[in-house]
Amino acid sequence: MTYPAPVEIPTRDLFNLGGRTVLISGGAGAVGMTVGKAVLESGGDAVFVDMVPSPNEQMWKTIEQISAAQGTKAWYHQLNVTDADSVAPVFDTIRGEIRHPLRGLVACAGISGECDACDYPIDVFRKILDVNITGTFTVTQAVAKEMHRANVTGSIILIASMSGWVTNRGINTAAYNASKSAIHQLGRSLAAEFAHPQNTFPGRTPGDANPNPDGERKAYPPIRVNTLSPGHIETPIAEAAKSRGLVDEWVKQNMLGRISQKEEYRAPVLFLLADGSSYMTGADLRVDGGHCAW
Ligand SMILES: NC(=O)c1ccc[n+]([C@@H]2O[C@H](COP(=O)([O-])OP(=O)(O)OC[C@H]3O[C@@H](n4cnc5c(N)ncnc54)[C@H](O)[C@@H]3O)[C@@H](O)[C@H]2O)c1
């Protein structure tokens, strides 16, 4: 299905998210909460999901105040993105409560870990890949199915990292870096699959991943998929790095001479979610103060 270019949208509405719902995984975290707030302030409803039972009370009060003032709505649900069995029931609940179709995802849920490679416990290595790659895929799959079910277009943002492009200097995070490279490639793969039926060759070959191939594929409205790659962010996690002098090193490694604030990801997220980026898919938006350009 080829969709017409949205050329009639007034310039002032290019970042507007009115009439749609956006799901934010890792929504209780620093970046998730901040970009979720921005969604609510831009006219969208927001569903925050995270593995913690409830978000920080003070932060949620702010979310409620913002949504009340804007006439938007916010919900919170506990969801562990690596627990595939719990995804469907949570999405059943979400489907029953939202008032506008789910047309956006910001997949923020992620973990990091630092260990020298030869000492890296394999179970920890595996867990980082599981949360960051499989967990991102699991929530993306669920959101794409909802968009298909509602027959709507959508925009999916997978939060990657500049660590998917370059290795962090001064800190040994092999599993994290590998997982973020995988997010770039996952984003490109899903972008191709969700954009247009011409992108998939007809038929299916049976195999372990596809034991019961069925007939014709259905055509759905396009879903755009992009990744967003932040540089270093000043979050509570950066505190330990600060005390080791690492942050002083990091500020020398980017062109702006400072690490970023979580609020600096609001505009990139709104741009990718809204119709202003209608011709952008399969791309990575790097927001790293020039770190990777050196
Ligand atoms: N902070 C940085 O410097 C930085 C830099 C580049 C990229 N990123 C990426 O940005 C994203 C958000 O990071 P942040 O700084 O807000 O970190 P954060 O720790 O504040 O937020 C991550 C959230 O993910 C949740 N989470 C973890 N495992 C989960 C699971 N299995 N299921 C559901 N939720 C789970 C956590 O509970 C947490 O609320 C991550 O993907 C991170 O890799 C962060």
- Got the DSSP string for 108-138? ---------GGG--HHHHHHHHIIIIIIHHH
Whether the model pTM is above 0.75: yes
pLDDT tens digits, one per residue of 154-199: 999 999 999 999 999 889 999 999 999 999 999 999 999 999 999 9
Dihedral pair phi/psi, residue 86, rounded to 5°: -90, -5
180 is catalytic: yes
* Ligand 1 probe mutation, 25, 37, 50, most atoms within 8 A of CB: 50
Interval between CA 149 and ligand 1 midpoint (Å): 28
What is the set of domains in the chain, with CATH numbers? 16-199+220-293 (3.40.50.720)
Stretches where the chain sits below pLDDT 50 are none
Residue 1 has what pLDDT?
Answer: 64
| Cα(146) to centroid(ligand 1), Å | 23
| Span from the CA of 199 to the centroid of ligand 1 (angstroms) | 32
Q: Which residue of 233, 263, 264, 288 sits with most ligand 1 atoms within 8 Å of its CB, as the best mutation to test the pocket?
A: 233
Residue 145 CA to ligand 1 center (angstroms) comes to 24
pLDDT at 294: 92
For 144, the enclosing helix (H) or strand (E) is helix 136-150
Ligand 1 neighbourhood includes 111 CB (under 6 angstroms): yes
The verdict on whether 120 is a catalytic residue reads no
The rounded Cα 106 to chain-centroid distance in angstroms is 3
Nearest residue (by CA) to ligand 1, atom 19, is: 29
Burial environment of residue 148 by CB neighbours within 10 A (0 to 12, 13 to 18, 19 or more): middle
Size (the chain), residues: 294
pLDDT of 270: 98
Please identify which of the residues 73, 76, 176, 220 carries the catalytic annotation. 176
Q: What pLDDT is attached to residue 239? A: 79
